[in-house]
Amino acid sequence: MKSYFFDTVLLPGGWARNVQLSVTPAGEIAEVCADARRGDSTHIAGVALPGMPNLHSHAFQRALAGLAEFRAHPSDSFWSWRKLMYEFVGQITAEQLQAIAAQLYLEMLKAGYTSVAEFHYVHHDASGRPYADVATMSHAIVAAAQLTGIGLTHLPVLYMSSGFGEQTATEGQRRFTHADVHSFLELVQKLQQAYGSDPQVSIGVAPHSLRAVPAAALLEVTSAFSQMDTNAPIHIHIAEQVKEVEDCVAHTGLRPVEWLLNNLQLDRRWCLVHATHLTEAETVRLAGSEAIAGLCPTTEANLGDGLFPLAPFLDSSGRIGVGSDSNSSVSPIEELRWLEYGQRLISRRRNIAADGTTPHVGRNLWQRCCNGGAQALGKLTGSIESGYRADLVVLDPEHPILAGRLQDQLLDCFVFSGNSNPITDVITGGKRVIENGRHLHEQGIVNSFRAAIRAASL
C-alpha cells in the first residue's frame, strides 16, 4: 500500500499537521493519521487540499479560446459565438480531439482540478454519420484522461432537435444528433461495458437541454438510464440564456427549471448546469431538491449569460459546484473568484459566500464546490478522509502570495490574491501526476496539441 506524508492538510474537521495518508491500489484513501511520523512515506512538502472537481467541460472548445473576441455582429451574444463553435466542430478529427483534450486536462491538473465531468456531444463523423465504432469520439476523450491521469466522469450527450417544438437539427449540429433514444442508449451501454472496470472513469448521461431534447424523449432517456444505473449522474444545460427561457415559456407555458421540477423527480443525481435565470420560487425549490447547481462563472461572463442568484440559493441550503465549460479559462480559483465578485457587483456588498460556520470566503467556496462537484460527478472525492478517492492538490506555503499566511487565511489568499499559481504537486486516484509543477508526459502532450491546432487551421 502506498503512503504519503504532508506537512499541513485540510481535513473535514479542520486543519491538521504532519498527516500520513495510506492509499489502496485502487486509489482510495485507506487511513488518515494526523500528528504522525514520516517513516517510509513519500514526503510532499506544503499544504494539501482536496482536489477540485470540475463539473462541466466541453474539451474541444479549449481550441477556440480567444478566437471569438471580436465584434462579428452588432449585437454579439451566445448565439453568434455558437456559429463559430459549429464551424470548428464540423472539421475536428478524433485524433485532434484527443490531443486538445489531453492538453486541456493537463492544464486542469496544474490548476487544481483533479477530476472532470466531460459533457460530450461530438459523436459522429464530419458528414454526420455514426462511426463504425459509435464511441470513437468518446474513446478519444477517455484516452486523453487516462494519459494525463485526471479522474473522468464521461457524459455522452443526447441531442435531437435545434429548438423547442422538435425543430429539425441544423447542418452545424449534424455531428451531435441522435435520431432516437434507443441509438443513444446503445452508445451509453457500450461505454459502460468498455470502462466499467476503470476506477478513474465513470459514465453518466446528459440530455443536452429542453430545447434540444423533446419532452417525451427526455422522460424516456432519464427513466431508461435510471434503470441501467441507479447511482450515475444526469446533467442538463438549463436556463442559461434569457431567449431560452422565453422560448420555453412560449412552448410549454413554464420556465425551464420550473418545467423540470414539475415533470421530473430531481434529486442528488442531477446537475443543472448554469440555471442562471431563476425566479425566487424556482431558487427555493431547486435548493430543496438537493440537485447541484453547476455554475461556470468565467464562461457565463464570456458569453454574456447573466448571474446566478447565489445568496438566496445558499440561504436555502442549495448545493453548488463549478466548471470551466467552454474552457476560455482553466482555473478553479478564477471560477470561485468570479462567483463571489459577480455577487458583490450586483449587491454592492462584500464576502457574500461566507456564513456563520465558515466566515472565510475562500475556504467556504472551496469546500462547498469540492462537495458539490463530487456529488455532480458521482465520485467519492472532494474530501480527504478514509474511503474517498486520493485526490489532492499541494500548495507551496512559501510562494509570494501565500508567504506568512496560515490555514483559512492561506486558502483565502490562494483564491483572492491573483493568478500566480502556487500549486506544486497534484495527486489523482493515489498517483502523483504533477510533481514540482510538471507532468511526466507534458512535452509530448504539448507537442501533440500544437500539431492538432495547426492541422485544424485555427
**Rounded-to-integer distance, Cα 17 and Cα 77, Å:** 49
Picking from 184, 193, 188, the residue whose alpha carbon sits closest to that of residue 217 is 184
Cβ–Cβ < 8 Å for 360, 409: yes
Q: Which three cell numbers stand for residue 371?
A: 462537495
CB atoms inside a 10 Å sphere around CB 79: 12
Q: Is 274 a known active-site residue?
A: yes
**Rounded-to-integer distance, Cα 420 and Cα 331, Å:** 11
Cβ–Cβ < 8 Å for 424, 62: no
* CA distances, 22 to each of 7, 14, 18, 200 (Å): 15, 19, 13, 18
- Which is the catalytic residue, given 178, 235, 274, 360? 274
Phi, psi of 34 (to 5 degrees): -90, 160
CA atoms in the 13 A half-sphere facing the CB of 22: 10
Burial of 430-456, coded b for 16+ CB within 10 Å and e otherwise, reads bebbbeeeebeeeeebeebbeebbeeb
- Which is the catalytic residue, given 229, 325, 391, 412? 325
Place of cell 420555453: 248
Helix (H) or strand (E) holding 206: strand 206-207
Picking from 112, 21, 108, 7, the residue whose alpha carbon sits closest to that of residue 422 is 112
Positions marked catalytic = 274, 325
